[in-house]
Amino acid sequence: MAQQQSKIVNGVNVDGLFQTIDVIKEDPSIAKFNFRAKNEWVNGAENKTTVSDFYGAGKTHVRSKPYVFTKDEPEVLLGTDHGANPVEYALTALAGCVTTTLVYYAAAKGIKINKVESTLEGDIDIRGLLNLDENVKVGYESIQVNFKIDSDAPEEELNELIQIAKKHSPVANTISNATPVNISLSKEYKMTDDISSFSSETFDAIEKRRAVKHFDENHKFTEKEIEKLLSLAVLSPTSFNIQNWRFLVVKDSKLRQKIRECAWDQAQVTDSALLLILCADLKAWEKKPQRYWKNASKEAQDFLVPAIGNFYKENEQLQRDEALRSVGISAQTLMLAAKSAGYDSCPMIGFNSQKVAELINLPKDFIIGMMLVIGKAKEPANPRGGQLRLEEVVFIDRF
């Protein structure tokens, strides 16, 4: 039987909208929604808020993935500028809500909208926040929203839509009509089976990181960006803190070309913004090991520094294992850091290690762990090759 097509206006399923209205008229309890957010303070002004489920239409709905919003303050307000600040988020919430309300009402009225843009501005006197003057309002003194709407509808109808949107937008109402806000203190942190807050931007980066092969050859990194990535890499853990990785940044384009020739001509070697050769010093454990614990207490130093030598000496296999362990962990740090910053990467072992070692004058005690390219993707990675199921790779207690 042929299915009847739903009427869609402005991307909104109008038949669905009217059906929903009819159902709610019959059973108003369906209209009760409960929205939730979880927030975690990071440091200073930085917070992360996660939205992952809500209650509505009689049941709890879990979002397809948790949405994480980072908030921070700009430097002038003593933050680290890792995200928009909370009052800017209030403007974004208002913009989104008024726009959606406007578009839904337009759809219901059969008014086709081609484009809607809006600008929002709010004035705040931070003396209210700082408790410097009782007479100064703490929040926005006023908010100005200005809409540009491209539609064939007459201006009169568009103005009417704006008024309807203002009247019926939940966020506009939350802001303009006093809403009670109750803030209380929970007594304890509890272990819970609820994993909805078990998410973060790191989870996101892990899920989104892929080995990308095609990079935008025109995209370059600034020295600051490279330094930032490397300064994160050196926070990667190493056994006994021996920090045995050594990162070679290949800047010379001719050298990159030569390395590409030793890597089956893989384009990412020259086209990515950054080519790193992740090496390790096999003998880091015996080279002035006291420097790895210089900030530790005397007791810790006296115990740890000789222990390093005892652990690695005369065990070349272990020295090599340690080198590759450290390189591997630092590679993942770099790849996730790059992904979090909006870039992509590709770890690489498809090259002639001996020839590359000659090209970069690899010192005697060093080995190459892998190469790593980072840059701006030109094409997404291929679909995942096929992940093994957890049951195939996870074992409990014994094999």
Ligand X SMILES: Cc1cc2nc3c(=O)[nH]c(=O)nc-3n(C[C@H](O)[C@H](O)[C@H](O)COP(=O)(O)O)c2cc1C
Task: List contacts with ligand X (CB under 6 A).
Answer: 210-211, 213, 266, 346-350, 370, 381, 384-385
Minimum CB–partner distance for residue 282 and ligand X (Å): 18
Tell me whether residue 148 or residue 384 sits nearer to ligand X (CB atom): 384
Tell me whether residue 79 or residue 328 sits nearer to ligand X (CB atom): 328
Q: How far is CA 347 from the centre of its chain?
A: 20
Nearest partner of 276 among 323, 214, 338, judged by Cα: 338
The residue of the chain with the least Cβ separation from ligand X equals 350
Tell me whether residue 210 or residue 219 sits nearer to ligand X (CB atom): 210
Minimum CB–partner distance for residue 347 and ligand X (Å): 4
| Residue pair 46/79 in contact by the 8 Å Cβ criterion | yes
Helix (H, G, I), strand (E, B) or coil at 344: strand
Minimum CB–partner distance for residue 327 and ligand X (Å): 9
| Residue pair 67/50 in contact by the 8 Å Cβ criterion | yes
Minimum CB–partner distance for residue 385 and ligand X (Å): 5
Tell me whether residue 213 or residue 246 sits nearer to ligand X (CB atom): 213
Tell me whether residue 346 or residue 368 sits nearer to ligand X (CB atom): 346
Tell me whether residue 47 or residue 272 sits nearer to ligand X (CB atom): 272
H or E stretch at 70:
strand 59-71
Q: What phi and psi, each to the nearest 5 degrees, are found at residue 74? A: -70, 170
H or E stretch at 35:
strand 34-35
* Length of the chain as a residue count: 399
Separation of alpha carbons 345 and 376, rounded Å:
8
Separation of alpha carbons 396 and 139, rounded Å:
54
- Burial of 366 by CB count in 10 Å (0-12 exposed, 13-18 middle, 19+ buried)? buried
Minimum CB–partner distance for residue 212 and ligand X (Å): 8
Which amino acid would we find at residue 11?
G
Q: What phi and psi, each to the nearest 5 degrees, are found at residue 123? A: -100, 130
Separation of alpha carbons 245 and 239, rounded Å:
11
Which amino acid would we find at residue 173?
N
Minimum CB–partner distance for residue 370 and ligand X (Å): 5
Tell me whether residue 11 or residue 385 sits nearer to ligand X (CB atom): 385
Minimum CB–partner distance for residue 260 and ligand X (Å): 11
